[in-house]
Each structure stands twice: as C-alpha cells, then as structure tokens.
C-alpha cells in the first residue's frame, strides 16, 4: 500500500500545534482536534477522499 503523508500549510500547522496544547484545558479545542485527527486518518486510508482538483489549479 502507498504511504500517504498529510502536509499542513504553515498557518494550519500553527493552529494544529495550538489545538494540541489547549486540548487538555478546553473541551472545544479537544473536540476540534479530535475531528481534525479523524479527517486526517480518513485521508490517509482513502487518499482519493474529497473533491478532485485539476493539476492546473495546484500551484
């Protein structure tokens, strides 16, 4: 099976780190982080998940 990596933009990575730090203190951040982690696992297991984007639209 092909190895799939999920790469965040710089801003998204900062938000992800913030959510990881705040998840122990805030129920809202924990919920958002859990939802994000579930989507990451879906993307890793089904890398064609979502709407296809044309190669000419990818910078």
The structural domains of the chain, with segments of one domain joined by +, span 10-47
Distance between start and end Cα atoms, the chain: 27
What local confidence, expressed as pLDDT, does residue 25 receive? Answer: 93
> Coil, helix or strand for 2?
coil
pLDDT of residue 50: 80
> Rounded distance, CA 29 to CA 2, Å?
31
Distances (CA, A) of 28 to 6, 31, 35, 40: 23, 5, 11, 18
pLDDT digits (tens, 9 = 90+) for 2-53: 788 888 999 999 999 999 999 999 999 999 999 999 999 998 888 778 888 8
Instruction: Read off the pTM.
Output: 0.73
Task: Provide the pLDDT for residue 57.
Answer: 86
Residue 1 has pLDDT above 70, yes or no: no
């Amino acid at each position: 099976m092909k190895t799939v990596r999920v790469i965040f933009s710089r801003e998204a990575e900062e938000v992800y780190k913030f959510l990881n730090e705040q998840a122990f203190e805030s129920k809202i951040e924990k919920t958002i982080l859990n939802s994000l982690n579930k989507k990451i696992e879906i993307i890793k297991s089904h890398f064609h998940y979502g709407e296809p984007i044309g190669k000419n639209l990818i910078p």
